[in-house]
């Protein structure tokens, strides 16, 4: 019979249980900064082909675990596979961001979207999860993920990346009923997708709200956070192995909403580097674990500066359970792998024992 408490350091920290040290994993830990990743990407042909090849996706998921000895792996995929599964065209131009077409402009466009079946339309993701779990052999847990409805909506309405978010904010403010219908469709799709990931073996899930910070206070609560709260309420909370499946909410630029995010039903709130993690721990009072939150730009600094910042963050959190060390956003493509190794070693050396 399975135990009620996980053994993995990362999963224990997610649940606020004691650990021997703070676990560390890193957003975008499988990516372009690794030469071995670039070799596999060339083998795949392009980024999207890599995402859709379960064997190669498993290979690049494993690479940072093998190189750095991190405490969790994260499924190699992309948040925009959901809009593609809903019927939108998706491509990644050379040296460009994603392109989605035709973009969502009207209520008719929203109603035209399909309700994706993750077992069919996203079967390659489920196959990758099974392949990754076999490759990991339970050395470390596997994190699944999705973009938040609001973040997915920004790409779908803008037609790709944006700096001004003019189109999506215009829809939200001029036609809120159309935006809400789009978010409703995405809530259903994301919930089904994450539940399928859990059925196939991911042991935690993270919801990325990359663009929640472009909303004003009430808009974030009513559109972005409420959408994530509804997803969390609809998720399977026990995996096939009988273990709890923690949920991590990461909303970039949204530190002012920490208390509200902690009330969403998630087990972990991810912080970007603009929020002091020590103050954040006092604000949530142990209600949730905290993940973060070193500035990714500091990985360009000297090894000594990296060690000092890692120690500062660990001391700011203090000798308390429920800290997962991470960056405040993903690793930059020009990061030197050796600097990541310095960070991982520093977290191991400076973590409070028995926290």
Q: How far apart are the first and last CA of the chain?
A: 27
Whether residue 112 lies in the annotated active site:
no
User: Catalytic one among 9, 12, 21, 41?
Assistant: 41
Whether residue 199 lies in the annotated active site:
no
User: Catalytic one among 78, 121, 209, 272?
Assistant: 78
Structural contact between residues 136 and 76, judged by C-beta atoms closer than 8 angstroms: no
**Angle at 198 (CA atoms; ends 195, 202), nearest 5 degrees:** 145
User: Catalytic one among 28, 133, 230, 281?
Assistant: 28
Residue 109 labeled ligand binder: no
Residue 29 labeled ligand binder: yes
Residue 251 has phi, psi (to 5 degrees) of -125, 105
Residue 124 labeled ligand binder: no
Round to whole Å and give the CA distance between 39 and 266.
Answer: 37
**Angle at 85 (CA atoms; ends 84, 87), nearest 5 degrees:** 65
Bridge partner residues of 146 (DSSP): 207
Place of tokens 């087990």: 267
Structural contact between residues 44 and 50, judged by C-beta atoms closer than 8 angstroms: yes
Residue 78 labeled ligand binder: yes
Whether residue 41 lies in the annotated active site:
yes
Residue 155 labeled ligand binder: yes
Write the CA distances from 333 to 31, 32, 172, 192, integer angstroms.
7, 5, 33, 31
Whether residue 21 lies in the annotated active site:
no
SS percent in the chain: helix, strand, coil, step 5? 50, 10, 40
Write the CA distances from 194 to 205, 215, 299, integer angstroms.
7, 25, 31
User: Both tokens of residue 185?
Assistant: 């469709």
Residue 173 labeled ligand binder: no
Residue 112 labeled ligand binder: no
Whether residue 28 lies in the annotated active site:
yes
Residue 191 labeled ligand binder: no
User: Catalytic one among 33, 37, 155, 317?
Assistant: 155
Residue 37 labeled ligand binder: no
Residues belonging to the binding site are 28-32, 78, 155, 210, 329
Residues belonging to the binding site for substrate are 28-32, 78, 155, 210, 329
Give the residue numbers marked as catalytic.
28, 32, 41, 78, 155
């Amino acid at each position: 019979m399975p135990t009620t408490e996980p053994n993995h350091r990362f999963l224990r920290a997610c649940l606020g249980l004691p650990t021997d040290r703070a676990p560390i994993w890193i957003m975008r830990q499988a990516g372009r900064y690794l030469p071995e990743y670039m070799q596999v990407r060339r083998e795949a042909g392009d980024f999207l082909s890599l995402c859709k090849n379960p064997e190669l996706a498993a290979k690049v998921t494993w690479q940072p675990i093998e190189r750095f000895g991190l405490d969790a792996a994260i499924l190699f995929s992309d948040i925009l596979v959901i809009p593609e599964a809903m019927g939108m065209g998706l491509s990644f131009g050379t040296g460009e961001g994603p392109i989605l077409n035709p973009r969502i402009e009207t209520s008719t466009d929203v109603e035209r979207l399909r309700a994706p079946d993750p077992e069919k339309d996203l079967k390659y993701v489920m196959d990758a999860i099974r392949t990754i779990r076999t490759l990991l052999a339970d050395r470390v847990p596997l994190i699944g993920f999705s973009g938040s409805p609001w973040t997915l909506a920004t790409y779908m309405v803008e037609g790709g990346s944006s700096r001004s978010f003019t189109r999506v904010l215009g829809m939200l403010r001029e036609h809120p009923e159309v935006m809400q219908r789009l978010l409703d469709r995405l809530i259903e799709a994301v919930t089904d997708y994450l539940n399928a990931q859990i059925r196939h073996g991911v042991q935690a899930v993270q919801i990325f709200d990359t663009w929640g910070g472009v909303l004003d206070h009430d808009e974030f609560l009513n559109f972005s956070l409420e959408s994530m709260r509804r997803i969390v309420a609809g998720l399977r909370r026990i995996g096939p192995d009988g273990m709890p499946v923690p949920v991590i909410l990461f909303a970039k630029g949204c530190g002012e909403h920490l208390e509200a995010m902690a009330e969403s039903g998630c087990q972990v709130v991810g912080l970007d580097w603009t929020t002091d993690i020590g103050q954040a721990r006092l604000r949530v009072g142990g209600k949730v674990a905290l993940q973060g939150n070193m500035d990714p730009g500091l990985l360009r600094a000297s090894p000594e500066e990296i060690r000092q910042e890692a120690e500062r963050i660990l001391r700011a959190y203090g000798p308390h359970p429920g800290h997962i060390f991470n960056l405040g956003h993903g690793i930059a493509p020009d990061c030197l792998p050796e600097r990541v190794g310095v960070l991982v070693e520093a977290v191991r050396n400076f973590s409070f024992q028995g926290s």
